Structure formats: structure tokens, C-alpha cells
Structure 1
Amino acid sequence: MKHIFKIASAFLLLASPFFALNAQTQSTEESWELVKKQAVAEKKLIFVDLYFTGCMPCAQMDKEVFPDPKVAALLSADFVTFKSDILKEEIGKKLCMKYGVTGFPTFLFINSDGKIIDIAAGFQTVDQFTALLQNAKEAAKKGNFKKYSPEVQEKDYPEFYQQAYMAGKRNVSFEVVDAYLKSQSSLLSEVPFVIITGLRIGREYDDFFFKNIKTLYKDYGKSSVNCQLFHILQRKRKEFEKNDDLAGFKKVLDSSKEYYTSDEWTRYEGILLKDFGAAKTSDNPYTLQK
């Protein structure tokens, strides 16, 4: 009887968006399985909030966005919610490993079969977040899903990648990663993709990423691709700086602009241009001065 009561209590907790997103109870493999079963039973989508204690944007979401009536109504009507502290809970670490998560908060939008609809990261305003929820609903109705496999299978990942996420051993040598990636039949597959983006692998893999960015964007979504692209542009900047080639670097930036929103690009362009000195005369409010 006690066991049944505990399971029922967990179901009630996870069924409420407000409580689920603010609860301090531990998220486990068992509670994750309950969420997936509940989504099937209620024919709802799944919303996952991956966060850690001390993350300011995460706390800001909890304070300003999740309690908003519009957000709460959408979550309650169409989603089963799940929240996990990625520094303390194994299931959070596994989900981060699965999707190569590097920034927080990260939000996963998943259907009841485990298919990824979308991934988003960072603080979202109420309007931005409600748009993400609405877009996820529409994409799911149309059957538009990303290429990720539905289940977390630890055996699919090499030991160094598992250890990077599950044990925090992220100082993996390029040679180790390079040897693994060169043994793979396609770098466009899920596991090579999350290794490259999750561990921010560069060098010749930057050129691969640039060459295949449209395919990767379509297959795996905006969040991981944009994050990796920004790191690539930071590395590219150093190459162009050696020859003081601002014009050449701006051409590279122009080819990348389409993958960001106008607000994102305003911010990132200012950061990426600052070391060339051009930012001194810019009207860009996000520009970082020397």
C-alpha cells in the first residue's frame, strides 16, 4: 500500500507544471519513466527543464516565467513536465549526455514516444517561451521531429564521452576524440554529432561543421548547432586576426547570420568583432569596447 501511495504521489507531483518546475524532490530514473507513461496515458507532450542550483538564468525562469498564467496554462493543457538538477541527479546527467547539452537552462520538448521536437537553451521571456511551447505543439502535430533516437542507451557512447558527462571528466584529449570520430562511418550520425558539440571539438571538425551546417541544423535543431557555430566563429576570428583580415572575417560572419535571430546576432556580432577594433565606432548596444 505504501509503495502504491508513493507512486500515486509522484504522479500528482509531476502532473502539475507549477509544482513540477519548482519542486525540490529528487528526479530519478523511476520518476522519468513515470513521466513518459503519464504522457502516453494523457496523450500529452513532455517538457524537460535541465538546470543546476546556482544557475542565475535557471532561477530567473523559475521566478519570472514558469509561474506566468499563460505559461502555466499551456504547460498544464499540453505537457507533462519534468525538472532535473544536472549536477546532482543521474537522470539529468544522462539527458545532458544524450543531447550533448552544454548550456543552462536547457529545455527539451519531447513527444510521448520519446522523439525530440525541439531543444532550446538560455533564459526565455514569457513571450519567447510561450512561442516555443506553441511551436512544439504544431511541430508534433505535423510529425516534425529531430533525428535523435528516442531512448538513452549508454552503451551507444564511447567511455570518454560517458565519463565527461556522468563523472565530470571533460578534459578529454583531442587525440582520443579524433581517433574515435575517424572510426565512425558518418559524422552526421547522432553520436558523433553530440560528441563534437558536447565536447566542443574543433580543428578539422570546424570545417566539417561549416560544410554540413544546413543538414545538422535540420537534423538536430537550432540550439546545439548555434552554440557550436559560435565557438567555431571564435576560433575562426583568431585565424583572421593573424593577418588583420577584418573583411575576410566579416564574410564568414555574413554566411553564419541566417542561423541566429536578429537579437542573437546583434549580441554575438558585437562580441565577435570587438578584437578587430571595429566595435569602437559601432552603434551596436551589445558591443564590447576594448
Structure 2
Amino acid sequence: MKRNLLTLALSLGILTGATAQNREISFKEADWKTQLATAKKEKKIIFFDAYTTWCGPCKMMAKDVFTKDNVADLFNQTFLNVKYDMEKGEGPALKDKFEVSAYPTYLFINGDGEVVHKIVGSMSAPEFMEEAKKALNPGSTAFGLAKKFNSGDHSEATALAYMEALDKAYEADKMGAVAKVYFDGLPKASLMEANNWNLALKHLNNPAAQSFAYLYSNKAELEKKYGAEKVNAYFQRTMSSSVYAIKRAYEKKTDLKAATEKATAIRKLLSNGTDYSKPMLAQLELIEFAATSKWDKFIAKVYAVWEDSDFKNKAGFVIGAANDLVTAAPAQYYKHALSWADQVESSNPNLFANIQLADLRKRTLKKQGKTAEAELMATKAQDLRKEASQKGQMTPPMMKD
């Protein structure tokens, strides 16, 4: 009898342990207009999970974080929880409305439809809860700090808190604009000090800032103090990411003034030449040619790059240019993309480049209406990806048709 009772007690204990961590965030299903109305009526902030079905970190968060009892209790008691697949139903429209560009993105939105807090990326349960609680005190979020900063509070405390919040919200361009104001307001000599230099490494990503130009002009001294590798990596990374931001601005036709300022600054800074000057300046030319539909000049520049024996990683540059051409240029220019693909292939590219070439040809042939040939290229790209996977090699992201 005692043995039976002990067995029953142990069984109950096992069951209790198995169900002790079974709560999870409960998401309400409804159209967006209804969700907003409900939030306003209940005076709650909406927790908005912007995800895609292919996003690994999204799945990890749903499985390992949303199912923690303390996380579930906080969110179910405090917020109106909703989630939308950014590629289905209302998702694409909401993606554009809230400028979602990475996954997972978590938004906290009031009943008036205003974003009061934003989190991007996966994280641990404690960190996720800590970030979520900030939404209940909007003054400590990027959006609350923006009001303080934009009203003239450029103090160190406000500026650094604002840049940190923007960094966590994956708002690199906005962070750069704030950094420009903050660092340009510091005494120039103080920029060389360790504290400000370390802050610049993290936040000063705007080459149009006077402070950035000052640091670049004192690159040799920075290298002596902090190491050549670290210093050069910072400048190259900042200008490279800025070139990408310029391209994005021209494609979306937004923030064009800031994009022009960055392009002008990069050209000036790189006028003396570095090992990465040539590809960056060439990329800027292509971006501006594409933005103004000067496709003949775009094509001439790519051919010139291909003939330049001193141009580093020209195969990657040409493949990227070919994809940009196929994406935005009239169909009459597609033949050049295929010609470039042939030239790159004849130069014995690696497996990574061969996958890119197969993808490029697939996209080009499909846009030309050559469906059967495009399908053959799609199969080739798939086979090459399998080969790379078996070899443990990295594969390029798939381009949209």
C-alpha cells in the first residue's frame, strides 16, 4: 500500500513538473483595425510579433521564450498580443506601414497606432522581459527619447540613451543622424579620448559628420593609440554600410538629402585612396547611374571594372551590378547581365560565385520569358547549394525574381 502511494505521489510530482512550465503568450486573432479598437477600448498597449515562416530566430523565440511562465504571465496580463506573418494577408501592408526590415521584429503600439517601443532580434527571456517593460515607460524608449532629443535636449545622458535604444531597434540610419548631432557638438580633441572613441565605434556611423571626418583625418594617430586593424576596420565598415544605405535611399526615394551628403563625404574622404576606395567609389557611381536611369553609363562602368586588373573582388562586384541591372533596368539591357555572367564564369569562380551566377541567370531568363531555361538554372542553383551544404560551405541568399 505504501509503495502504491509512493508511486502515485511520484507520478503526480512528475506530472506537476511537466505542466509547471506550460503557459505561453496568448495571441488574439483579428484584423488590424479591430486590434487597434480593442487596444484603445481596453487601454492596453499592443505587443505586435512581426514574423515570417522561414525565420529561424522567430521560431526559437516562440518555442523557448514565449512559453516561459514568467514571460507568458507578463504579456498576457499587460499587453494585447497579436502576431502577423509579414508575407501573408495583412502582413505585407503592415510590414510597409511599420517599416519592418528584419526578423523577428517586436513592436509595442498604443491604441492610436503609434509605436512606443521596438525590439529587433532574438534574446533570452530575462532580456526580452526587461525590454518589454520599457514599453510601459515610453520616456525610456527610442520613441520617447526622440521627443526629448528633437526638442533640443542633446545632453550626454539623453543622446547616449537614445542612440542605444535606436541601436537595439535596428535603426542604424536614425542612430547615425543622432550621432552626427551629438559627436559634432563635442570638442574635436576630445574625440580622440578612449571613452569617446569607444562610443564612436559603436554609434558614429555617419561619414557626413564633421566628427567622423576629424577622426578619419587623424587615422594615423588613432592607429598608434588603438591599433591599426581595429581603426581601419571601423572606417571601412562605416563607409561600406553607408554606401548600402545610400543605395537603399535612392531605391526607396527617401532621405535623399542625407544620402547625397553621405555620398559627397565618402568621395571627399576617399579621394586620397585606400585599398577599398576604388570599389566603394565605383559602387557609388553605379548607384547614382541606376537612380537616374543612366543605364548606358552603368553598363560602361561595369565593363571598365571588369577590364581593371587592379580592382579587388571584381567578380562579386560585377555579379551584384548584374542583379541590380536585372532588377531595375529595361529588358533591352538584360543581355549585358548574361554576358557578364559568362565572363565571370570563364574566370574560374568559386562555388559561392557559381551559385550566384545560376541565380542571376535564372532571374534574367525568367524575366525574358524563357521559362524552361530559367527552370534549368533554378535546378542548377539548387544542386550547387546542396553541394555547398555537403561541403560545409556558406551559400549566398536567394535573390527574388
TM-score strictly above 0.5:
no
Q: TM-score w.r.t. structure 2 length?
A: 0.33
Greater Rg by CA? 2
Q: TM-score w.r.t. structure 1 length?
A: 0.45
Say which structure, 1 or 2, has more relative contact order (CA 8 Å, 6+ apart): 1
